[in-house]
Structure 1
Amino acid sequence: MKGKRRNGLPQYCSLVIDRHKKRRIRFRAKGVDTYLPFPPVGAEFEKAYAAALAGVTEWRANIGAARTKPGSMDALAVSYYRSPQFQGLRDSTKQTYRRIIETFRVKHGSRLVRDLRREHLKILLGNMADRPQAANRLLSLLKIMLDHALDNGWIAVNPAAGVRGFKKKTDGFHTWTETEIATYEARHPEGTKARLALNLLLYTAQRRSDVIAMGWHQVSGKTIRVKQRKTGAELDLFMLPALTDVLFLLPKDKPSFLLTEFGKPFTAAGFGNWFRDRCNEAGLSHCSAHGLRKAAARRMAEGGMSGDIIKAVTGHTDLKQVSVYTAAANQAALAEKGLKAIAGKKKRTASVQPVRKVGQEKGE
């Protein structure tokens, strides 16, 4: 969701009181004028807000199609938005792509696609050297859009093909250490919502977008069923005592285990921000919700679990991705296990002393 304005509400939103004296959130922008659920938090509001934003984008695309210069980057963006390739993306991905593309269009939308050269792209990326990740994301999107232009006969060659972005080695989200987990637990004791959040993240090894949706409707016996929002993978996860002992104290008439102060389910972004504050309270500003998913994978790796077992828990389909998650496993401990396996098990042979005959003296 876009950043909040001075009134504390998302872009295009305002608080109104209807004729029944009820509070409502009005979304008003060119092409869209509608009401959204109150309060302005939770999955229901996020879904309605995303739909309203999509309506604004569609309206702009329809208007822009008539105003854009044929063959321009503006026209290419409008054409790409309407393509099956773009329409088939998840809503969250569409929003991310639109944000990057629209920022690019502000400066370069009027330029013709056929005039774009490799040297232009290199200059463009060079000017973003202070933001290498953003530059790489833009390059990836331009490659996709220019492939779309190529497929539709706008250009004969994709000038972005083969252009390399910045090399930026990163381990991604920090993997929580055992000391950091203990520090968080000391700051947020059992019975707090902050501790519940940590238990759900760590003892299911799932993403924040899946953890916020977890509730009693997914529990069957000692198993919780998860359908991952990002991949669609369906997992049946055994609930450890460290998790069940906490969950069985929670009411069973709520939509999810984790709720906002308004009693509504969190959004992924909202939960991320809320959990960030809880980490900061524990002096762990470098830790995140996703880092606990990696910590769970680390624990499994250190416990000698195979890549296939770890995949069964995390829902990954690629062992290469699992290796990224388990990179923080204790190398020394794992190496010791490996070296002992190389040595194998040696058979010990006991030395047998000859039996002395009755009456035989020692040394005879």
Structure 2
Amino acid sequence: MARIKLKYVNQFANPDRADKRLRYYFRKRGHKAIPLPGTPGSEEFMAAYAMALAASSDAKIEIGEKKTSPGTIDALCVSYYRSAEWLALAEDTRDARRRLVEKFRAKHGTKRVHLIEEAHLVKIMNDIASLSSRRSWLKAIKHLLQHAVPTMRKNNPAANIAQVRLPKSKGHWTWTDDQIATYRTHWKLGTKQRLVFEFALETVSRRGEVVGFGPQHCYVGSEGERRIRIERTHGSGDVDIPMSDALAAAIDAMPVPTAINGIVPLTFLHTERGKMRSKKALGNDFAEWVKLAGLPDQCRLHGLKKGGMRRGAEAGLTSHELMGQSGHKSLAEVERYTKAANQRKLADSGAAKLRAAAAKGPKLITDQRGREESANAAYTNIETQLHKQGSK
């Protein structure tokens, strides 16, 4: 029987116990051992393992921590990485922000925090060529320096620097129905290319959610319907949604997963060694799959999320129904993703509703004869009323 091998997980069997049951612990050098419930691969086990892994990575000793001088940017970074604000960030956000903070720290780590002025920051920012890179840098440094208030300085020198404005853009291309059909025609059921496509489109998921998708997220509901639980990233809420027929067919057509070097892959997408694919690698691979299908380069993986939201809007789903599917926490985000909904279809749908409402109300008079008949009927009605009043 194949075993699931997970980093930092050790198993123990106590021969003196009657049940002889294996027990599992998360053990990482420099950290206290954490007991893990259930068995490897089970939902409760993997949830506990993920929490232990996240806690151990955030609690690690920073490089050079013992050599940092109090009051310096080095010391500020060490403190910031241990703050509640930092730990509350999504893992992807922390990774991106840490890269920017560490570049800033490498050049200015020994400088005193209380001596930093707004002009210094503006000069550093203006030396960054890309506007989008400037914007990301300023956001990261603002949060870093805000952590210095009020322990290292009285105010945040970056607080009044205006955010960098980027040129207006429509963002990622929204897939059209024709492009969706073209991709499906080229990549048949039973291929990972088709599975990635169906999952991203039908569940409006990002790359990070696609690479983590595995059999453990699928289950059968109380009424016998197939469903999916998805842990959303980037601040969106987790969702529990019905599985579409197209996605069910793509999953069922995939080969049965087998052990690789004694490890059973926990995700539908994995490397040759059985490990989960990286988001960057998936994005690059998908761009190549699109090209092989004869589609333009603008058809990217994130565009499928927008395409799925567009299809939902055109099918008549309300904004709240779309939120239940996507996990967005605000109507503004839903509206941003559904801007590409086919305006002609929506206009036709609205006109049909107006026609149906008009059919239930007073009949409209559309010709001259009808107007004359209506006027004569009104005159006759007035004559009748006057006659009744005169006879009293």
TM-score by length of structure 1 reads 0.72
- CA displacement 1:154-207 (0-9 Å, x = unmatched): 112212113112211333322212232233223323332211211111122222
1:61 shift after superposition: 4.4
Question: In structure 2, do the counterparts of structure 1 residues 219 and 267 end up closer, same or farther at CA, with 3 Å as the change threshold?
Answer: farther
Which residue matches 1:17?
none
Asked whether the 8 Å contact 1:301–1:326 carries over to 2, the reply is yes
**Cα distance between partner residues in 1 of 2:106 and 2:273:** 38
1:239 shift after superposition: 1.7
Which residue matches 1:318?
330
Instruction: Tell me if 1:72 matches 2:63.
Output: no
**Cα distance between partner residues in 2 of 1:263 and 1:328:** 38
My pick for the range that moved more, 204-213 or 94-103, is 204-213
Question: In structure 2, do the counterparts of structure 1 residues 163 and 340 end up closer, same or farther at CA, with 3 Å as the change threshold?
Answer: farther
Which residue matches 2:11?
none
Which residue matches 2:153?
155
1:251 shift after superposition: 4.9
Asked whether the 8 Å contact 1:136–1:166 carries over to 2, the reply is yes
1:298 shift after superposition: 0.6
Asked whether the 8 Å contact 1:210–1:226 carries over to 2, the reply is no
1:75 shift after superposition: 2.3
1:95 shift after superposition: 2.1
Give identity over the alignment, percent.
32
Which residue matches 1:94?
94
TM-score by length of structure 2 reads 0.67
Which residue matches 1:164?
162
Where structure 1 has 5 or more consecutive residues not aligned to the other structure, the ranges are: 1-30, 32-42, 354-364
Question: In structure 2, do the counterparts of structure 1 residues 235 and 57 end up closer, same or farther at CA, with 3 Å as the change threshold?
Answer: closer
Asked whether the 8 Å contact 1:125–1:165 carries over to 2, the reply is no
RMSD: 3.2
Which residue matches 1:356?
none
Which residue matches 2:311?
299
Larger radius of gyration: 2
Asked whether the 8 Å contact 2:187–2:193 carries over to 1, the reply is yes
Asked whether the 8 Å contact 1:216–1:252 carries over to 2, the reply is no
**Cα distance between partner residues in 2 of 1:238 and 1:55:** 35
Provide the secondary structure at the position in 2 that maps to 1:150.
coil
Where structure 2 has 5 or more consecutive residues not aligned to the other structure, the ranges are: 1-29, 31-45, 259-265, 374-392
The residue type equivalent to 2:102 in the other structure is E
1:210 shift after superposition: 2.4
Question: In structure 2, do the counterparts of structure 1 residues 119 and 67 end up closer, same or farther at CA, with 3 Å as the change threshold?
Answer: closer
Q: Report matched runs for 1:103-252 at 5 Å.
A: 103-128=103-128, 130-152=129-151, 154-168=152-166, 169-217=168-216, 218-220=218-220, 221-230=224-233, 231=235, 233-251=237-255
Question: In structure 2, do the counterparts of structure 1 residues 114 and 339 end up closer, same or farther at CA, with 3 Å as the change threshold?
Answer: farther
Question: In structure 2, do the counterparts of structure 1 residues 242 and 227 end up closer, same or farther at CA, with 3 Å as the change threshold?
Answer: closer
Which residue matches 1:271?
282
Asked whether the 8 Å contact 2:232–2:239 carries over to 1, the reply is no
Question: In structure 2, do the counterparts of structure 1 residues 77 and 250 end up closer, same or farther at CA, with 3 Å as the change threshold?
Answer: same
